[in-house]
């Protein structure tokens, strides 16, 4: 053996192999980095497609056990997934307010928000002074309120449209009286940070508002662009479900013999832990969504609002700590602009809906932390709060919203991989 290694031909071959390997690794790294940066928009659809496939694996395995061939079970699953996505897209499209509804919503939201803010701070009354809270917080809160109002201000075009679709009430027809009262009250609003100036005068009303602009820019090209990027997701989903272990085998074939069994065991343990975490997260999200939907309907939110807020809050709930606050904040914001409350609980009315909305958010969090999380997720993936916050900020900085949403699952995966590798390396006497 020693003689063979001293052979100059063998030595030259070994040298060539080393060069070949170094150049290959460098090329792969350079190409990988280039692709990562140039195809950033494709990363999320690919990751989500793989994650969905991973979560769906037990379903295809179950179907195979029932005698359905793999290809057919994958086609059935992908078909169901596409059909559900299509149905959800139509449902969401029908539920989203059209241009007229948006104008109405802006008028009502602006009035309710300012009305509640003024009532809370004891403003707008000539005989009494603002309360202590206003004295303490006005410097910070007033500019925020002015900015929100500037966002909700109707443009000249929107004002004309408002007058056309909601005719001014007359003595005989008082249908739009309440809405017009709100609109006129909005027109009289003054800047909180500078009470001498009328709000509508301070804002350039000729420019189209953000809400109105977004409606006009929702053209075909934007949809097609999004569609073509997200088309990658079902493709990745399909091929990852169809793969019968070839990817895993290829990866394992790269490991040196010394690490072979350790790699197999680590992959299995990581697979079990991550699979349980991801499936648990999906089930927990569903449970939180259903609880939100029921609770919000009970306190008097409309079905559409309950559905959207419940869904958004449940998805945000994937982010520990921050997600919980986001859910409560969503309920609070909607309650602040809510016009009509039709609760089955008699004590809830438009005066106290804000308090009940916050209580509803807190109640769902309580149920989630006391029942769903311990029973569905367990404590296997507990992360330190500081680590959660840092990873969420880092994720957001790198990949925006999707980075925020997937930061914690990614950290959990990394944590499980490191823990398992460390344990297995010790078990196989590779490290002490």
Closer residue to another protein, CB minimum distance, 34 or 251: 251
The footprint of another protein on residues 239-298 (CB under 8 A) is: 244-245, 249, 252-253, 257-258, 260-261, 264-265, 268
The footprint of another protein on residues 62-91 (CB under 8 A) is: 64-65
| C-alpha distances in Å from residue 291, one per residue of 312, 333, 388 | 13, 19, 25
Closer residue to another protein, CB minimum distance, 201 or 261: 261
In the complex, the smallest distance separating the C-beta of residue 186 from another protein, rounded to whole angstroms, is: 59
In the complex, the smallest distance separating the C-beta of residue 261 from another protein, rounded to whole angstroms, is: 5
Measured in degrees and rounded to the nearest 5, phi and psi for residue 330 equal -60, -45
Which has the closest alpha carbon to 157: 220, 234, 212, 92? 212
- Count interface residues toward another protein (CB under 8 A): 19
Closer residue to another protein, CB minimum distance, 357 or 421: 421
Distance CA 318, CA 412 (A): 12
Structure tokens of 405? 């949403």
Tell me, what DSSP letter sits at residue 373?
A: I
Which has the closest alpha carbon to 298: 349, 342, 362? 342
Residue 374 CB-half CA count within 13 A: 6
In the complex, the smallest distance separating the C-beta of residue 268 from another protein, rounded to whole angstroms, is: 4
Closer residue to another protein, CB minimum distance, 83 or 430: 430
In the complex, the smallest distance separating the C-beta of residue 422 from another protein, rounded to whole angstroms, is: 15
Binding mask 33-62 for another protein (x = CB under 8 A): ----------------------------x-
Chain-centre distance for alpha carbon 411:
17
The footprint of another protein on residues 346-365 (CB under 8 A) is: none
Residue 118 touches another protein, criterion: CB under 8 A? no
Which H or E run includes 288? helix 260-299
Residue reference for tokens 């520990």: 320
In the complex, the smallest distance separating the C-beta of residue 59 from another protein, rounded to whole angstroms, is: 14
In the complex, the smallest distance separating the C-beta of residue 20 from another protein, rounded to whole angstroms, is: 18
Closer residue to another protein, CB minimum distance, 263 or 285: 263
In the complex, the smallest distance separating the C-beta of residue 256 from another protein, rounded to whole angstroms, is: 10
In the complex, the smallest distance separating the C-beta of residue 326 from another protein, rounded to whole angstroms, is: 39
Closer residue to another protein, CB minimum distance, 56 or 155: 56
Which has the closest alpha carbon to 381: 409, 422, 340, 420? 409
Residue reference for tokens 């169901």: 80
Structure tokens of 428? 């196989």
Name which position in 23, 187, 398, 427 contacts another protein (CB under 8 A).
Answer: 427
Distance CA 369, CA 378 (A): 11
Distance CA 263, CA 428 (A): 11
Structure tokens of 183? 């609109």
Q: Is residue 73 a contact partner of residue 60, using CB atoms and an 8 Å limit?
A: yes
In the complex, the smallest distance separating the C-beta of residue 277 from another protein, rounded to whole angstroms, is: 18
Closer residue to another protein, CB minimum distance, 1 or 431: 1
Closer residue to another protein, CB minimum distance, 161 or 265: 265
Structure tokens of 18? 């080393």
Closer residue to another protein, CB minimum distance, 73 or 155: 73
Which has the closest alpha carbon to 241: 373, 68, 58? 58
Q: Where are the alpha helices (DSSP H) in 124-190?
A: 132-152, 156-165, 177-187
Residues in contact with another protein by CB under 8 A are 1, 61, 64-65, 244-245, 249, 252-253, 257-258, 260-261, 264-265, 268, 427-429
């Amino acid at each position: 053996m020693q003689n063979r290694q001293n052979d100059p031909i063998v030595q030259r071959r070994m040298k060539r192999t080393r060069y070949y390997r170094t150049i290959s690794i460098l090329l792969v790294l350079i190409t990988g980095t280039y692709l990562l940066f140039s195809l950033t928009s494709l990363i999320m659809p690919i990751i989500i497609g793989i994650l969905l496939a991973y979560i769906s694996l037990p379903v295809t395995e179950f179907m195979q056990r029932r005698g359905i061939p793999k290809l057919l079970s994958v086609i059935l699953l992908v078909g169901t997934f596409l059909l559900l996505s299509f149905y959800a897209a139509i449902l969401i499209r029908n539920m989203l307010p059209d241009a007229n509804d948006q104008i109405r919503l802006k008028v009502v939201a602006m009035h309710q928000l300012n009305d509640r803010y003024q009532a809370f701070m004891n403003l707008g009354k000539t005989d009494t002074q603002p309360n202590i809270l206003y004295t303490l917080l006005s410097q910070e809160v007033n500019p925020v309120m002015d900015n929100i109002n500037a966002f909700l201000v109707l443009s000249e075009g929107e004002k004309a449209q408002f007058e056309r679709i909601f005719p001014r009430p007359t003595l005989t027809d008082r249908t739009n009286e309440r809405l017009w009262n709100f609109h006129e009250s909005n027109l009289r609003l003054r800047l909180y940070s500078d009470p001498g100036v009328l709000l509508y005068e301070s804002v350039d009303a000729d420019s189209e508002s953000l809400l109105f602009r977004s409606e006009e820019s929702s053209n075909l090209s934007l949809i097609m662009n999004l569609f073509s990027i997200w088309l990658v997701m079902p493709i990745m989903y399909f091929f990852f479900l169809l793969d019968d272990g070839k990817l895993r085998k290829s990866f394992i074939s790269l490991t040196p013999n010394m690490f072979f069994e350790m790699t197999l065991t680590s992959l299995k343990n990581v697979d079990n832990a991550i699979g349980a975490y991801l499936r648990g997260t999906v089930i927990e999200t569903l449970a939180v969504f259903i609880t939100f939907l029921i609770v919000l309907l009970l306190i008097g939110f409309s079905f559409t609002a309950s559905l959207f807020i419940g869904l958004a809050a449940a998805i945000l709930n994937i982010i520990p700590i921050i997600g919980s606050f986001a859910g409560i904040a969503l309920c609070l914001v909607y309650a602040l602009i809510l016009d009509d409350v039709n609760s089955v609980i008699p004590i809830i009315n438009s005066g106290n809906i804000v308090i009940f909305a916050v209580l509803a958010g807190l109640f769902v969090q309580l149920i989630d932390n006391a029942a769903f999380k311990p029973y569905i997720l367990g404590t296997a993936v507990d992360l330190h709060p500081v680590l959660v916050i840092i990873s969420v900020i880092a994720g957001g900085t790198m990949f925006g919203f999707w980075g925020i949403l997937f930061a914690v699952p990614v950290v959990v995966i990394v944590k499980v991989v490191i823990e398992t590798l460390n344990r297995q390396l010790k078990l196989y006497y590779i490290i002490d």
